Amino acid sequence: MASKKDGVSLQDTHNETETSVPSNTDDADDSINISGQDMASLPSSESTKRDIEAQNSALTTTSSTTSKKPYTAFSNNGKWFIVTMTAMASFFSPLSGQIYYPVLPILTKTYHLSSGLINVSITTYMIFQGLAPSFMGTFSDASGRRLGYILAFTIYTAANIGLALQDSYAALLVLRCLQSAGSSGTISFGYGVIADIATTGERGKYFGPMAAGVLTAPALGPTIGGLLTQFLGWRAVFWFLTIISGGFLVTYIIFMPETHRKIVDDGSIVPHQWWRQSVVQYLAGRRRLKRMSAQERDDYERARQALVEQQRNTRIRFPNPLESFVILTNPDAFCLILYTGIMMFSNLVLMTSTPTVFPRLYGLNELQVGLCFLPLGIAAAIGAFCNGRLLDWNYQRMARKLGVTVDRKRGDDLHNFPIERARLQAVFPFQVLQVAALVPYGWALERHASLAVPLVLQFVLGFCLVVASNSISTLLSDIYPGSVSTASAASNLVRCMLGAVGAAVVDNMLTGLGLGWCFVLVGLLMAAATVFLYIETQCGMRWRQTRWRKLEQKKEKQVEKEKRRTLLPLQQEEASADPSA
């Protein structure tokens, strides 16, 4: 995009990987992970000096060729398949948490324990649900999406088998922790996958289905758990999770390609290591090589070899959870993540109170209470798909207002684009609607209104929740392009911690304040959280530009340091070979 207006310009380049020289394709934010191995290790012989200079020259000219290359090589159908698999994977973590609730009364009788001790298994699940993505998200950003998913679902499936077979309280606690650790990382992986395959201008419509998977699971989980427990027993819940997760894992291994841009560039490069390739990707790559001309094959092999060299920095390594905490120290991320945490607190108060309040007020059984979650889930699904289109539309509207053209194929440069306003403008009206629905919700229950009234309000709240959550998750992927999974893990950490607080205090709030004033307080808390969104729209762009500029300067210093390190042996060799020196 070459047109300019009011000092704002969008280039045909993007701050994510788009060039055929992978050693220069890290995002601005990737400099967090820079080490001395970012550049290819260069041989110390005289004959390679010209090659080194040529490579350095190529690195400085890639920006001129970037605009000719599409952002991703995946077809539209291929991208939708990847998004569908990602949405299905993200479904498991919230499903595992909610499907467990109908089992609690039976476990209390089975182990002859109090409900308080059995509820500890919920607390530990939520703690690991918050902490595990900090490990798994950084692992995915460093070692690839495919390996992260396979590891996560292997742990998750094994934990479900153990839960179905165990007969002790201690085993229940330990295996619930493993179950949470395996499933919770898939959500942070998902945001990274979509950022790999979609440009900023079309990212919203792909985030929608994934958000729908995350937010409909809490509505379906209690219903599924109640049916399985009532007709097949509590162990059937875990066997059910074992079957569907095992089936998904096999499907993933066969069909799902690697998307990490450090490993496959735009998706056109087949990974070097066999375990990074899906079966379908391997076979398709062989067919494509046979159709290539000799020149195309040479170009492909050079690009692939360059990626292999760069993967020294994406080798399998122990994840560093501190990277998620580092992101929380940035003011732009802090405002967004704290808002989502408060929003999750209010949502957990709503959902945790439903199984307790509805049977008492309306005389519902466990299955009927589970069905009462459906309006929330249906609204979340509808809101996710609608909001995805809304995000893309508002992004394009703002681009037109600034006199620029959105490039869906190659992506846009966001350095001088107010992406914070483009993503958050649509949130404010729904934020007002959310507060307007929370305040009367408690009074409707307190006055024993018709069951339809709280269910309609839950529908409104579910719609508003997914609009805000999806918008903020999309914005996080925009402002942390090279560490999307890590940023998502940081957000998940705060959400789960505040959600756990909400689940822990809801009984005391309902007892001390009553239903009406309890939800008035929650509504006022959500209204106060709007301040963080306003601050982000006013200051977020400046904060982001400062952070990106510092990261780029740090990266340039690392590159210069590596150049000096690799060229020094060559200079010493030249000096020793020259007698006149």
> Running DSSP on this structure, what letter comes out for residue 361?
H
Task: Count CB neighbours of 569 within 10 A.
Answer: 13
Q: What is the pLDDT of residues 517-556, one digit of tens each?
A: 989 999 999 999 999 999 999 998 888 888 888 878 777 7
The pLDDT of residue 248 is above 90:
yes
First to last CA, the chain: 52
Residue 365 burial by CB count (10 A; 0-12/13-18/19+): exposed, middle or buried? exposed
pLDDT over 90 percentage in the chain: 18
The pLDDT of residue 207 is above 70:
yes
pLDDT for 160 equals 96
Report d(CA 135, CA 577) in Å as an integer.
Answer: 50
Q: What is the mean pLDDT of the chain?
A: 77
Report d(CA 453, CA 446) in Å as an integer.
Answer: 12
The pLDDT of residue 67 is above 60:
no
pLDDT for 56 equals 43
Give the type of residue at 545: Q
pLDDT for 571 equals 65
Residue 388 burial by CB count (10 A; 0-12/13-18/19+): exposed, middle or buried? buried
Q: Give exposure, 497-531, as e/b (b: 16+ Cβ within 10 Å).
A: bbbbbbbeebeebbeeeebbebbbbbbebbbebbe
Q: What is the pLDDT of residues 365-407, one digit of tens each?
A: 777 877 888 888 788 888 877 887 888 888 888 888 887 766 6
Q: What is the pLDDT of residues 104-150, one digit of tens each?
A: 878 888 888 887 687 778 778 878 887 787 777 667 767 788 888 99
The pLDDT of residue 36 is above 70:
no
List the chain domain ranges.
76-261+321-551
pLDDT band at 319; cut points 50, 70, 90: low
Q: Indicate the CATH number of 76-261+321-551 among 3.40.720.10, 3.30.420.40, 2.40.50.140, 1.20.1250.20.
A: 1.20.1250.20
Q: What is the pLDDT of residues 425-445, one digit of tens each?
A: 888 999 999 999 999 999 999
pLDDT for 370 equals 75
Q: What is the pLDDT of residues 260-310, one digit of tens each?
A: 888 888 777 777 777 778 888 777 777 777 777 777 777 767 766 666 666
